[in-house]
């Protein structure tokens, strides 16, 4: 939850999506995590949902105005589709204290393609998703890797179905990233370590990838150019 307090102070979101998790954390004197941010989050989590920012508990299959329905309540094409967690996954996480499967997994349908946000999802989450949403997550355009692409004691069989055109890995030391799961399947990926910030224009078909590391952009595309709108360099179309 690092940075959540500053985020809310800067952007003042009206709604806050959360689950009925009961996670608690103990902080040591030299912890790299912010106790202030964690306390800010738990105050939001335990707040009265009638006050702003309004805390909404949304689960797998949720439908609602503005995020995947129109203003009049009719179905919308583009939007955010919640694939996980379920209430059952949350209940189990609360019982076991393992909260990875309490993480959100969200499919973002855009004009340019489908973007799948993996959160910190683990095996039971993907068992649910593959059973309920296999067609929706098959052959997606962009995957934001679960656990930021870090190695974990898990199955990567979900990649055989998701089969993303491109995957984003987060910042981590190379030895901690699950390169082999992607390389063994011939799947493309980019890390923040390589590209710095990755920016995707999802309003065009196919989606276009830009990065803020000029050297990396020129390495993958000698004809790169600087796009002022995104303050980043064009790499390629995501196909």
The b/e string for 99-117 (b: 16+ C-beta within 10 A; e otherwise) is: bbbbbbbbbbbbebbbbbb
**Rounded distance between C-alpha atoms, residue 161 and residue 158, angstroms:** 6
Question: Residue 168 in contact with residue 144, Cβ under 8 Å?
Answer: yes
Q: What is the pLDDT of residues 138-186, one digit of tens each?
A: 999 999 999 888 888 889 999 999 999 999 998 878 788 899 999 999 9
> What does the pLDDT read at residue 69?
86
3-state helix vs strand vs coil in the chain, percent to 5: 30, 25, 45
Contacts of 138 (CB under 8 A, 6+ apart): 161, 162, 163
* Res 99 pLDDT > 70: yes
Q: How far is CA 184 from CA 40, 123, 152, 156, in A?
A: 41, 19, 16, 11
Contacts of 220 (CB under 8 A, 6+ apart): 235, 236
Q: Which residue has the higher pLDDT, 153 or 199?
A: 199
**Rounded distance between C-alpha atoms, residue 215 and residue 30, angstroms:** 36
> What does the pLDDT read at residue 54?
85
Q: How far is CA 149 from CA 29, 31, 120, 137, in A?
A: 29, 23, 10, 18
pTM for the predicted model, two decimal places: 0.93
Average pLDDT estimate for 200-207: 96
User: 77: pLDDT confidence band, cut at 50, 70 and 90?
Assistant: low
* Res 76 pLDDT > 70: no
Paired with 236 in beta bridges are 209
Q: Which residue has the higher pLDDT, 200 or 14?
A: 200
Contacts of 45 (CB under 8 A, 6+ apart): 18, 21, 55
Q: What is the mean pLDDT of the chain?
A: 92
> What does the pLDDT read at residue 194?
93
Give Cα 109 to chain centroid, integer Å: 13
Q: What is the pLDDT of residues 53-71, one digit of tens each?
A: 888 899 999 998 888 887 7
């Amino acid at each position: 939850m690092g940075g959540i307090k500053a985020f809310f102070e800067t952007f003042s979101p009206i709604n806050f999506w959360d689950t009925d998790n009961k996670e608690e954390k103990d902080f040591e004197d030299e912890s790299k995590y912010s106790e202030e941010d964690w306390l800010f989050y738990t105050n939001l989590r335990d707040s009265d949902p009638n006050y702003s920012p309004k805390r909404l508990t949304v689960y797998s299959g949720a439908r609602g105005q503005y995020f995947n329905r129109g203003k009049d309540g009719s179905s919308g094409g583009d939007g955010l589709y919640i694939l996980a967690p379920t209430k059952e996954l949350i209940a189990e996480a609360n019982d076991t204290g393992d909260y990875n499967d309490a993480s959100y997994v969200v499919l973002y349908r855009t004009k340019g393609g489908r973007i799948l946000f993996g959160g910190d999802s683990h095996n039971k989450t993907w068992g649910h998703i593959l059973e309920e949403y296999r067609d929706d997550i098959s052959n997606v355009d962009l995957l934001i890797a679960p656990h930021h692409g870090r190695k974990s004691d898990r199955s990567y069989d979900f990649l055989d179905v998701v089969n993303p055109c491109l995957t984003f890995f987060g910042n981590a030391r190379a030895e901690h990233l699950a390169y082999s799961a992607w390389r063994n399947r011939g799947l493309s990926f980019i890390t923040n370590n390589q590209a710095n910030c990755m920016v995707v224009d999802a309003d065009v078909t196919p989606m276009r990838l830009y990065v803020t590391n000029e050297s990396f952009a020129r390495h993958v595309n000698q004809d790169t150019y600087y796009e002022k709108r995104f303050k980043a360099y064009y790499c390629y179309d995501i196909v």
